[in-house]
Amino acid sequence: MIDAIDKPAIFINPSYAIEAVNQPYRDTYPVDIKLGFSTCYQVSHRNSKPCDKCGEHCPMQESKATGRAASVVHVHTTSEGQSYCDILMRPIFDGSGELLGYLEILDKLSFASNQPSAGKMVGESEVFKAMLNKINRAANSDISVLLFGETGTGKELVSQALHSSSHRAGKPFVIIECTGMSDTLLESELFGYEKGAFTGATTNKKGLIETAEGGTLFFDEVGDIPLSTQVKLLRLFESQTYRPVGSVDSKKANFRLVCATHKNLKHMVETGEFRQDLYYRIAGFPINLPSLRQRKSDIALIAAHFLAMSKEKKRFHKNALEKLTNYPFPGNIRELKNIVDQAILLADESVIYDTDLPELDNISSDAINDALSSHGNVVTLDEMERQYLRQVYTSFEGDTQQLAQALGVSTRTLYRKLKKAGVGDT
């Protein structure tokens, strides 16, 4: 039966010994597997002890305790080197309810790595691994996914991972940047138009929906879509049909929907800025992307990743990594990349010291300087307050009592302001 599974799979007894194995599993690990003797942890981890005895979570132990299936993301030593694997462990019982053993099925997560790797999502923290598990689950289905997280947390990278590990991988991946999209632009870009539909429509033009046929449509910054446009999108997502501008015939759409936002969409639903029906349509499977503050233990690894991707062969001194780890990174991974790129240029030697890092504390001045330097581009006070609150909320790590004290307002006033600005969990 195990040969009928096309992913790497084994059947293990409650003492971890492998009793059955399929060919994809044998191909994944360059180890001679002796049935009844070799254990899962020897083969996948090259360990002499089970994972739970080596500080890792063991899905078999969890399954044993709950009597139900369990899944976890581990790093395995495969024939292609270290690789993230999503493990599904399922207890198998005989007809009388006696436990026979466990079926273990693996998904190799080739879009992620625990080492510097070009084009991959890098990380090793527990929150990162939990996110990988969610991405893998969503990738295996056609459910609409909503990625939410602060700016620069990797939403676009995750959307690509969802596409490349789905059954639609061979088809197009099309990005729609929603910021600044007007009603008419959206219609013609998305739905396409027929010759003569409006002045300037001299030929038929294919829309992005048709371009994405069979693949994935990624709506970036979906929270920026105006209300008037939201109803048109709802119609498209509900019926999977649309009409090119100027055409009388409907066309059938075939795409997987992935949306991303850095805004608090639930809060926008409450304030009437985002349609509730559209929210539930796009948020079939929400995935939260943790900020760098929530995965501080990944900062050194990701910094090393960006260093490795540069041509310069430099390395960070401990004091530079310490400084980076203590910085709140309002711009998250994108900001870390900028800082590493600057530090490479600023460092005179092959070692990058804390003094080689660009100014890190001055995080609120950029927006103010932008506003002051250009009369034509003055930022509203509400917007400035929103940006400022976001930054100080970050640097106070969400401690609202201390923040209220520092700002000279009551905690109630602070909560009201945070809620209005859509900052934090308020």
Ligand X SMILES: Nc1ncnc2c1ncn2[C@@H]1O[C@H](COP(=O)(O)OP(=O)(O)OP(=O)(O)O)[C@@H](O)[C@H]1O
Q: Which residues bind ligand X (CB under 6 A)?
A: 121-123, 149, 151-157, 262, 302, 305, 333-334, 337
Residue 373 CB, nearest distance to ligand X (Å)? Answer: 22
CA 9 to chain centre: 27
Residue 177 CB, nearest distance to ligand X (Å)? Answer: 9
Query: Would you state the structure tokens that stand for residue 6, as one six-digit string?
Result: 């096309």
Helix axes 411-421, 381-395, angle to 10 degrees: 110
Residue 140 CB, nearest distance to ligand X (Å)? Answer: 21
Residue 75 CB, nearest distance to ligand X (Å)? Answer: 15
Task: Using the minimum distance from each CB to ligand X, give the nearer residue, 235 or 266.
Answer: 266
Task: Using the minimum distance from each CB to ligand X, give the nearer residue, 44 or 261.
Answer: 261
Upper half-sphere CA count for residue 279 (Cβ side, 13 Å): 16
Beta bridge partners of 18: 12
Residue 124 CB, nearest distance to ligand X (Å)? Answer: 10
Indicate the residue whose CB is closest to ligand X: 154
Q: What does the DSSP 8-state code read for residue 379?
A: P
Task: Using the minimum distance from each CB to ligand X, give the nearer residue, 78 or 160.
Answer: 160
Task: Using the minimum distance from each CB to ligand X, give the nearer residue, 258 or 333.
Answer: 333
φ/ψ (deg, to 5) at 246: 85, 0
Task: Using the minimum distance from each CB to ligand X, give the nearer residue, 187 or 221.
Answer: 221
Task: Using the minimum distance from each CB to ligand X, give the nearer residue, 38 or 261.
Answer: 261
φ/ψ (deg, to 5) at 38: -65, 140
Q: Which residues contact 135 (CB under 8 A, 6 or more apart)?
A: 109, 111, 158, 161, 162, 165, 287
Residue 132 CB, nearest distance to ligand X (Å)? Answer: 10
Q: Tell me if 153 sits within 8 A of 261, measured CB to CB.
A: no
Indicate the helix (H) or strand (E) that contains 101.
strand 99-108
